[in-house]
Amino acid sequence: MTALRRRRRFDADPLLVISAGFAAIILLGSLLLSLPCAARSGRSIGWFDALFTSTSAVCVTGLVVRDTGTTFNLFGQIVLMCLIEVGGLGFMTFATLVFRALGREISLRERMLIRESMNESNLSGMEGLIRWVAASAFAVQGAGALLLALRFVPMFGWGKGLYFSAFHAVSAFCNAGFDLFGNYSSLTGFRADALVNLAVMLLIVIGGLGFGVLRNLADRRRGKYLYVHTRLVLCAYGILTLFGFLFVLVAEWGNPGTLGGLPLGEKLMAALFQSVTLRTAGFNTISQQALRPATKFISGLLMLVGASPASTGGGVKVTTLAVIFLCVRATVRGERNIVAFKRSISLELVRRAVAVALIAVCVAAADVTLISLLQPELDFMDIVMECTSAMGTVGISAFGSASLAPLSRAMIILTMYLGRIGPLTMALLLARRDGGAQPRIDYPGGDIMIG
């Protein structure tokens, strides 16, 4: 009876299904990547390294313990690309497309799963939403691949050039940060290439804005107004990107290991790319090890924020930070209501934002503390970058994840999973309309001094 009750609860809870679905994909990917036929050497890379790589791909993070370009052959790279695509768009998107291709109708339970995975508020139009998400995502990735092909085809030839273009377009749109150029170089060889930089940045931004925002912007052409959520995302995303750009530009201006010595145009482009990639992309065009400690600290904070809700990125999300900021502003001004674009924000929403942010900060802080104790030889600010990068599913690393001890790697694996699933799951759990179990007793108020 107890087992049956647990099974019914699992079947009825979309959050458990979503979490378990991502975990299942990660395990499947680890098995495929651990096969000898997935490596160039013809020997297995080991299940633990394959698990780290698969988790990083499905959670669209980009942290690696094996160099992607030199370790995996074509089969392994295609597996990685599929894992990135599924992780970025969500496994429910692909499951729905497969069901419809087989002629199967989408059940009510599956519509509930789609609603939760897409962070929507109602059940109507779920199948149409999935079709729109898939079509728009593939169209954007295709356009990005064509732009990158203008550079990669002349460099590598038609076959390899088109393949490289497609792989990096998928990786950029899904905010994954995996690259095939070898030797952990990422896009450092294209720092001065405006075409590659702009194409990758556009893909990162479009994927990171969120499918709800993209659809609202597309509907804007047909006369529909912009939702408050869309306006808040655009403002917060833009402000954080501008702040990151200006900070990196000023802090690293004279640093010979990063921007120092570069022409003015390259400095501007490299600083902008660094700011954009901190939104959870994971690519880099300048050395992360050589960044100043202040830049590493600010980068960690920006990575922890992440991208937008229902996007291909992770983190606590830009709207979470925006809601907390609006709450602080209203408190400082002595205003009773928290307002954004002439619309009030409920106290329940503020409570969820604070809870999600605090959970993420606590997880990252715990990781930093434990890894610092386990590996005191590592630089503290580099550890901060590694842990916030994992929590925000960014993929930026100052010392390389291969330097981590096995226990530290296990912690980063769990953090990447929580970074992709945790904040979203926490927000959805806190957002349940029934408000959870209500206390049977209303206690009298108590006065507590704050500040």
pLDDT of residue 172: 95
Instruction: Give the integer Cα–Cα distance in Å for 177 and 280.
Output: 8
Please classify residue 169 by burial: count the beta carbons closer than 10 Å to its beta carbon, then call 0-12 exposed, 13-18 middle and 19+ buried: buried
Q: pLDDT category, 106, cuts 50, 70, 90?
A: low
Alpha helices in 174-227 (DSSP H): 194-209, 211-220
Instruction: Give the integer Cα–Cα distance in Å for 53 and 77.
Output: 11
In this structure, which amino acid lies at residue 37? C
Collapse the DSSP code of 345 into the 3-class scheme (helix H, G, I; strand E, B; otherwise coil) and give the result: strand
Looking at residue 344, what DSSP letter applies? E
Q: Average per-residue pLDDT in the chain?
A: 86
Query: Residue 163: which residues within 8 A CB-CB, separation 6 or more?
Result: none
Q: How far apart are the first and last CA of the chain?
A: 51
CA distances from 8 to 56, 123, 137 (A): 31, 21, 34
Name the least confident of 168-182, 198-212, 414-428.
414-428
Compute the average pLDDT of residues 293-310: 92
Collapse the DSSP code of 339 into the 3-class scheme (helix H, G, I; strand E, B; otherwise coil) and give the result: strand
CA distances from 407 to 367, 374, 385, 410 (A): 11, 8, 18, 5
- Between CA 368 and CA 371, with CA 370 as vertex, the angle to 5 degrees is 65
Compute the average pLDDT of residues 162-170: 97
User: Tell me: the pLDDT tens digits for 55-99?
Assistant: 999 999 999 999 999 999 999 999 999 999 988 887 556 666 665
Compute the average pLDDT of residues 310-318: 86
Q: Please count the other Cβ atoms lying within 10 Å of the Cβ belonging to residue 352.
A: 19
Tokens representing 5 are 């009750």
Which has the closest alpha carbon to 187: 143, 152, 139? 152
pTM to 2 decimal places: 0.89
Q: pLDDT category, 227, cuts 50, 70, 90?
A: confident
Instruction: Give the integer Cα–Cα distance in Å for 306 and 350.
Output: 18
Collapse the DSSP code of 189 into the 3-class scheme (helix H, G, I; strand E, B; otherwise coil) and give the result: helix
Tokens representing 329 are 């502003």
Collapse the DSSP code of 338 into the 3-class scheme (helix H, G, I; strand E, B; otherwise coil) and give the result: strand
Asked if residue 390 has pLDDT above 80, the reply is yes
pLDDT of residue 444: 79
Tokens representing 202 are 């556009």
Which has the closest alpha carbon to 62: 385, 426, 423? 385
Q: Please count the other Cβ atoms lying within 10 Å of the Cβ belonging to residue 298.
A: 18
Q: What does residue 224 show for φ and ψ, rounded to 5 degrees?
A: -75, 145
Percent of the chain with pLDDT over 70: 82
Tokens representing 359 are 């959970």
pLDDT of residue 421: 78
Tokens representing 195 are 């075409």
Q: What does residue 357 show for φ and ψ, rounded to 5 degrees?
A: -65, -45
* Strand blocks (E) in 137-279: none
Asked if residue 7 has pLDDT above 50, the reply is no
> What DSSP letter does each residue of 122-151 carry, written as one string?
-STTHHHHHHHHHHHHHHHHHHHHHHHHHH
- Residue 330 in contact with residue 438, Cβ under 8 Å? no
Asked if residue 261 has pLDDT above 80, the reply is yes
Length of the chain: 451
Q: Please count the other Cβ atoms lying within 10 Å of the Cβ belonging to residue 223.
A: 6
Which has the closest alpha carbon to 213: 225, 201, 231? 231
- The β-bridge relationship of strands 343-345 and 338-340 is antiparallel
